[in-house]
Structure 1
Amino acid sequence: MSEMDGLTIATELDRDVTKYPAEKRLKMENSSEEDPDMYNADTSSIMCMKSEMSKTLSKRQLKKQKQKEKWLAYRPVKRAKEKLKLRQKKLDARLNNIKLGPSRKELKHSKMLQSNCNVRIAVDLSFDDIMNDKEISKCIKQLLRCYSLNRRAKDPVQFYITNFGGKCKKEMEKHTGYMNWDVNFHSESYRDIFESKDLVYLTSESDNIIYSLEENKVYVIGGLVDHNSYKGICHQIAQEKGISHGKLPIEEFLEMKTRKVLTIDHVFEILLEVTGGKSWKEAFLHVLPPRKGAVERAEVFKEKLSTVSETQVQSNTEPS
């Protein structure tokens, strides 16, 4: 390709630049450097293209572009550090005779079909329209963790992902091989897959406390990353659809400083640990992150009792 052809391409890109968002323009820009067969213009032509395109970007877009370039440059270094850290962790475990987790052979036999646990957990991914791209990405990352946790469990639960389509499916497709996961993917709604009488939608707004998990029930987790923007939506859906609903017995065992709304993977992990034989309190204390400020009810009672005693002592020692 001649220099004149390279300049022609640059002119065409500049003419259509308003049609593409910043990310697409950046991708187009990168492709000109990485695909010499398609864009074999000389260095001066490429620099000219970059200069013209940078004029159309806002300061914010330019800042994001620089951050992305910096991240792409650092990514190989980060991956190398992670591999070195993992190698050292495995070496330390081997020297100290510590088992880090199930072996590949054990994982091959850890399938839902062979599991002794028949409790069904379904994630409802029907919230595509009210989540932005960042929230969709976080939602899929939480599902990845749910799969990983279930994969490594001695007796995995029967895991379903329902309403699987739209933006969530598109985001999931970035993870090659997900189709081979030991997960039941369904494009249909959970209401079309299971009988309504078996459904229990989990929501912190419910007045129904779940004290035990029943194998004939399907516990539905709302696949929503809302950052408190849609408070009570899962409870509202359950009421509108005439579905039973319930909440985990957090208040029975713990005092929390924050809202009792948990992430998808936290709810899944708690249910998984309870099906594995742990008590609710043990599961809560193991899974809930420190930022939730969860404290055992007994300790809270002791603190209150101590405060009352100190107040009484002070009142008794004050002169009348």
Structure 2
Amino acid sequence: MSSENGDIDDHEEGRLPSEGSSEADSVVRHPKWRPHHEIPKDDPAFDGLSKRSQKRLLKQRRFEATKDEKRAIEKEKRKLKKRERHEAIVAGLAQPPPKRAKPEEQTPCRVRIAIDCAFDDLMMDKEIKSMLQQITRCHSQNRLTQHPIPFTVTSQDKNTSKIAQGFKSRHDDHSRWAHVKWETRPIEQIFDKDELIYLSADATDVCETLDESKVYVIGGIVDHNRHKLLCENKAKTLGIKSAQLPIGDYIKLNSRKVLTVNHVFEILLRYTETHDWQKAFLAAIPQRKIENGQETEAGLYEQQEEDGGQTGDDLVSPGHEAELSEP
């Protein structure tokens, strides 16, 4: 607002009062507002960096300085939500999680899956981390069923694969996971091309059923759909078949027709149990993705999963990694 002498005050120019002033205490700021941190002039680590790179480095240092405290807070939140969830289950207000099958009672089914992890160079570090979590969820799903699907994780050279290095640092026991094979070679060197079917939303063929003589390939990438036709083009380059799952024939999604690796894995797993695509889709796809309020089995556990950590969908925001769409 202009003053009597015609000058424009700080508020009209869009400037906030200086910190420490009484006027600054009453200013309503955006919830994500953070105080300005100046770049240290005597730190050689910032020399020669662009302003954006300097801000990124400063942000990384702030994260490193506060990550232990944040982890402790998140741990307490998880404990509280776990206790609340347990109380809700005891009171009959929530569905209990499925019980883990005993290893001696499990009989692997004959359908095979391969997760193609040859896309390290196309992912950022946070996307690599998401991929680790999605593969871990595939293993977790196998532990809950009487008939797990054996799956192979390809291109896991510990010297070049970021995913392999991530598993080594975060899940040192991963090499002992049941029904999981870790291969350093790419898919085309492990399997015969005639037995491979690459799952892709851009494929013209539709996967009507699962053939026990085939290996179904899921593209192991999280890229927020930056790389169009990635899986379909790779299938053509390798000279192998591609197909999409018949989601549009059974349900309608209210969001992008892209699912995470662990969701695709669970769809295939549920189909081997029921031989019913609709039941498989409704069991694996989160409730929030289903149109017209169709009740899903996944919806019963979705909130519980989020309470204990991120679901596969939230981890990728969602991405391009496992491409499935309506025909």
Shorter-chain TM-score: which interval? 0.5 to 0.7
Root mean square deviation, CA, Å: 2.9
1:108 aligns with 103
- Match of residue 122, structure 1, among 114, 119, 124: 114
Distance 1:128 1:90 in 2: 39
Corresponding residue to 1:254 among 242, 247, 251: 251
Quick one: distance in 1 between partners of 2:81 and 2:287?
A: 25
Change (3 A) 1:176 1:232: same
The answer to which of 249-258 and 128-137 deviates more is 249-258
Q: Is the 8 A contact 1:254 1:295 kept in 2?
A: no
User: Which gives a bigger RCO, structure 1 or 2 (Cα 8 Å, sep 6+)?
Assistant: 2
Instruction: Assess if the C-alpha contact under 8 Å between 1:54 and 1:62 holds in 2.
Output: no
Q: Does 1:236 align with 2:233?
A: yes
Which of residues 194, 205, 209 is equivalent to 1:208? 205
TM-score normalized with structure 1 length = 0.67
Q: How do 1:71-82 residues align onto structure 2 when only pairs under 5 Å count?
A: 71-82=67-78
Shift of residue 133, structure 1, vs aligned partner: 1.4
Check 1:110–1:136 CA distance in 2 against 1; reply closer, same or farther (3 A cut).
farther
Aligned partner of 2:173 in structure 1 is 177
Q: Distance in 2 between matches of 1:77 and 1:210?
A: 45
Kindly provide the CA deviation profile for residues 159-187 of structure 1, in whole angstroms up to 9, marking residues without a partner as x.
Answer: 11111231111111122211111111111
Superposed counterparts of 1:1-320, under 5 Å: 53=43, 56=46, 58-87=54-83, 89-90=85-86, 93=89, 100-103=97-100, 106-109=101-104, 111=106, 114-115=107-108, 117-165=109-157, 166-174=161-169, 175-182=171-178, 183-277=180-274, 279-290=276-287, 292-295=289-292
Q: Contact conserved, 1:110 with 1:152, CA < 8 A, in 2?
A: no
Whose radius of gyration is greater, 1 or 2? 1
Q: Output the TM-score relative to the length of structure 2.
A: 0.66
Give the residue type in structure 1 aligned to 2:197. V
Where 1:160 maps in the other structure, the secondary structure is strand
Matched residue type, 2:141: L
Change (3 A) 1:140 1:55: closer
SS at match of 2:147: coil
Q: Identity percentage over the alignment?
A: 34
Relative to 1, partners in 2 of residues 1:59 and 1:242: Cα closer, same or farther, differing over 3 Å?
closer
Tell me the distance in 1 between the aligned counterparts of 2:116 and 2:74.
Answer: 34
Give the helix-richer structure, 1 or 2: 1
**Structure 2 unaligned regions, length at least 5:** 1-39, 48-53, 295-327
Unmatched 5+ residue regions in structure 1? 1-49, 298-320
Q: Which amino acid aligns with 1:139?
A: M
| d(CA) in 1 for partners of 2:156, 2:99 | 29
- How many angstroms apart in 2 are the aligned matches of 1:83 and 1:290? 25
Is the contact between residue 197 and residue 243 of structure 1 (CA under 8 Å) also seen in structure 2? Answer: yes
Q: Quick one: distance in 1 between partners of 2:272 and 2:129?
A: 28
> How many Å separate the matches in 1 of 2:289 and 2:217?
23
Cα contact 1:203–1:234 (8 A) shared by 2: yes
